Amino acid sequence: MKKITKTIVSIVAILLLHLAPIFAFEPNDSLVLQLLQETKNEIQQTNQGWLLKINQLQIELAELDELIFLMAKNDTKEDLVKKVNVLLQKDILRNRLGTAAEDYQLELSKIRYRKGIELIKMIYEKILGLDHHFTSLQTYQNVIMLSNPHSFPEFKKAQDVLKEKMNKKQSVRLPALLQSNPYISMTYTLLASVLGGGDKKNREKDLDQVACILDFTVRMNADLHLIYYETEFLKESNRALKVECIELFKDYAKVVGYHTSLLECRKEDDWETMYKKLNEYLNTMKETALQPDGSKKVYQQQVNLEFSIDRLLQFMDNYSAFISQGGKYYQKFQTILNNYTNEDICQSKLPRQFGDLKKDIEMSILKFNEAYNISELQGSKLKDLMYGIQD
């Protein structure tokens, strides 16, 4: 028995040592910091209380073992009765030790589960923030404007002037369908400037007015549309993540008998009801454990709690992967915009939307790296937080 209790105490001591490095980092998000600090405090308090109880039981068991050793030399009937009583007391202490270990595990499960709820709340708010972020971006409007030369007043004006200067015998009117095509429209404008009538110098001057616009739209058209479509992909991915988070909460909460949706719970600020359901669930587990053959049912209830936490860890992996992917996408967009070959030459003639698009992307990179990225809760760090173990 000494060996068993010492082993248990050693395990808990190692657990306490392992918890220290988990919280050694400084998160850049106040909500994350609060979550980590509260979890650290609660786990430490639980461990300390359990260790005190185990130490006391260990001392009492050691005293009984010593008493049994002393009585082993006596074979009288009276001593035999004492031995039986001591052995019975030892069995009672062993049962109390087992109950203490079960209570400790239940208390840890309670802490993990509650912190899981808080983590879901926090991540859902970040997903909503991303949703608002994508909605507020002017990427679509900026891309449409920048990728179409017809959006530039200078181009429209030069195009009209060049058309008028063309020799009427050579003039060919473009159908409306082709006029709306930016590539054909640009080609037509170039031909008009080269083959049209009027003074050559004036035509060259008119062409020079739109040279930067033509160069920018031809070189950047495909890249700008790539930015638009990949931004749309990120928006849809975030919406899918939001749906997944809502479904996760539903499955997470129903384990303890809470069936209100995340949206309704958030709206009504009904979190305390869910915590109450958790306490009721744990009390039921304790009552079930006292029943004959109740251990199997308690084990299943414990598995349900732990499986919910596993589901949360999987979702956090998905969230982290999405944030990492989003950050890389915007870094790619930034590289694309910063590599327009003739930006120095045409800087004064490029529209303000080009600068706005750059600012949107810079802001997005900053948000993905700081506001939405939770490096403190990724991979093994989150596992350590929820389970108090290290790989």
Which tens digits make up the pLDDT trace of 109-168?
Answer: 888 888 889 889 989 999 998 888 887 777 777 887 787 776 776 666 666 655 555 545
Same domain, 262 and 377: yes
Residue from 325, 316, 323 nearest 230 by CA = 325
For the ranges 26-30, 46-50, 74-78, 97-101, the lowest mean pLDDT is seen at 26-30
Distance CA 20, CA 387 (A): 13
User: Residue 7: is its pLDDT beyond 50?
Assistant: no
pLDDT-based confidence at 244, cuts 50/70/90? very high
- Residue 175: give the domain boundaries: 147-219
pLDDT on residue 171: 54
User: Residue 98: is its pLDDT beyond 60?
Assistant: yes
Same domain, 12 and 50: yes
pLDDT on residue 230: 92
Same domain, 198 and 324: no
pTM for the model? 0.72
Dihedral angle computed from the Cα positions of residues 353, 354, 360 and 365, in that order, rounded to the nearest 10 degrees = 180
- 118 phi, psi to nearest 5 deg: -65, -35
Q: What percent of the chain has pLDDT above 70? A: 69
Same domain, 136 and 173: no
Same domain, 195 and 60: no
Distance CA 156, CA 147 (A): 14
- Between 24 and 88, the more confident residue is 88
Cβ atoms 127, 238 nearer than 8 A: yes
From residue 232, alpha-carbon distances to 137, 171, 364 in Å are 11, 41, 14
Same domain, 67 and 184: no
pLDDT-based confidence at 259, cuts 50/70/90? very high
Domain end among 155, 190, 219: 219
pLDDT on residue 156: 66
Same domain, 196 and 243: no
Same domain, 352 and 226: yes
Domain end among 195, 219, 243: 219
Same domain, 260 and 113: yes
Number of domains in the chain: 2
Round to the nearest angstrom and report the end-to-end CA distance of the chain: 29
Say which DSSP state 229 is in.
H
pLDDT on residue 25: 32
Three-class secondary structure assignment of 62-95: HHHHHHHHHHCCCCCHHHHHHHHHHHHHHHHHHH
Residue from 219, 217, 258 nearest 113 by CA = 258
Same domain, 237 and 208: no
Distance CA 361, CA 336 (A): 11
Distance CA 55, CA 46 (A): 14
User: Residue 195: is its pLDDT beyond 50?
Assistant: no
Q: How far is CA 57 from the centre of its chain?
A: 43
User: Residue 250: is its pLDDT beyond 90?
Assistant: yes
Same domain, 284 and 382: yes
Average pLDDT over residues 350-365: 88
Domain end among 192, 219, 246: 219
User: Residue 273: is its pLDDT beyond 90?
Assistant: yes
Same domain, 288 and 376: yes
pLDDT on residue 151: 73
Looking at every residue in the chain, the average pLDDT score rounds to 75
Q: What percent of the chain has pLDDT above 90? A: 20
